Amino acid sequence: AQTVTQSQPEMSVQEAETVTLSCTYDTSESDYYLFWYKQPPSRQMILVIRQEAYKQQNATENRFSVNFQKAAKSFSLKISDSQLGDAAMYFCAYSSPKYSGAGSYQLTFGKGTKLSVIP
Amino acid sequence: DTGVSQNPRHKITKRGQNVTFRCDPISEHNRLYWYRQTLGQGPEFLTYFQNEAQLEKSRLLSDRFSAERPKGSFSTLEIQRTEQGDSAMYLCASSLGVKNEKLFFGSGTQLSVL
């Protein structure tokens, strides 16, 4: 079974600075999907960024980028120019291609990292 | 696009009672998912539907849990004979069911079992 580990329960960052959230995972599969989700106090999970394991290029979405190290099974999220609205719980998640190949998303989530942004 | 809607937002019940939650997915989405999130944890997958067919239900936590999507539109999740350990947030999500497409989550139903 796949597992996802987020070793930082809480992180803080000064507004406009950069912060990196860590995630490691365990799998025996060679192809899979990795995600970062944001959960603000409104409770709705919002997709921040996704990475397909067969793509070597790290995904980027505006101020958000990942450092995907497949051999090390590491998938960290970097937030640049942090804004007050970035404060939230951040969850790393894994999806197996046997589920996601047809658009199915049986995600395995980590425990999350609470990010605080200091004005 | 009104997003994924879940009702009620909060539910308080006494141990042993049955509860039912409703999820209305985004209208054109044919896949619908239920997740459970306990305090301090990430969401945990429970079950999903393709239209009205329940394609995966082995991850439902016990036989007290059941889900339906009778006409391939809204879905209900029922918990019978609730226990205090059932207290959690129950999240619904939907997607179009095509590769590389996004999963959209609702804001969840927070269940408290007294």
Do the Cβ atoms of B56 and A106 come within 8 Å? yes
Q: Are B101 and A103 within 8 A, CB to CB?
A: yes
**How far off is chain B from A73, nearest CA to CA, in Å?**
19
Nearest to B31 among A45, A91, A104 (CB): A104
Tell if the CB–CB gap between A45 and B41 is shorter than 8 Å: no
Angle at B41 between CA B46 and CA A65, to 5 degrees: 100
* Strand B44-50 relative to strand B10-13, pairing: unpaired
Indicate the burial class of B40 (C-beta count within 10 angstroms; 0-12, 13-18, 19 or more).
exposed
Chain B, 8 to 47: residues with Cβ < 8 Å from chain A are: 31, 33, 35, 40-45
Nearest CA in chain A to B100: A103
Closest CA to A99 of B105, B73, B56: B56
Under-70 pLDDT residues of chain B:
1, 99-100
Separation between Cα atoms, residue B46 and residue B100, nearest integer Å: 21
Question: Residue A32 — very low, low, confident or very high, per pLDDT cuts 50/70/90?
Answer: confident
Name the band, by pLDDT with cuts 50, 70 and 90, for residue A98.
low
Whether the CB-CB separation of A35 and A92 falls below 8 Å is answered with yes
> What is the DSSP track for chain A?
--EEE---SEEEEETTS-EEE--EEE-S-SS-EEEEEEE-TT---EEEEEEETT--SPPEETTEEEEEETTTTEEEEEE-S--GGG-EEEEEEEE-HHHHTTT----EE---EEEEEE-
Average pLDDT over residues A90-113: 80
Question: How far does CA A108 lie from the centroid of its chain?
Answer: 12
Q: Region of B16 please: left (phi>0), alpha (psi -120 to 50) or beta.
A: left
Instruction: Tell me which chain B residue has its CA closest to the CA of residue A32.
Output: B100
What's the rounded mean pLDDT across residues A76-95?
96
pLDDT tens for B34-53 read 999 999 999 999 998 989 98
Instruction: List the single residue in A4, A47, A106 with the smallest CB-CB distance to B102.
Output: A47
Q: What is the band of A48 on the pLDDT scale with cuts at 50, 70, 90?
A: very high
Q: Which of A57, A102, A21, A107 is nearest to B31 (CA)?
A: A102
Q: What is the pLDDT of residue A29?
A: 86
Q: Which amino acid is at A2?
A: Q
pLDDT value of position B20 = 98
Q: Assign A99 a pLDDT band (cuts: 50, 70, 90).
A: low
Nearest-Cα distance to chain A for B56, in Å, is 9
Give the rounded percent of residues in chain A with a pLDDT score beyond 70: 93
**Range list of β-strands (E), chain B:** 5-7, 10-13, 19-24, 31-37, 44-50, 53-56, 65-68, 75-79, 88-95, 104-105, 109-113
Tokens representing B50 are 């393709």
Q: What is the pLDDT of residue B102?
A: 80
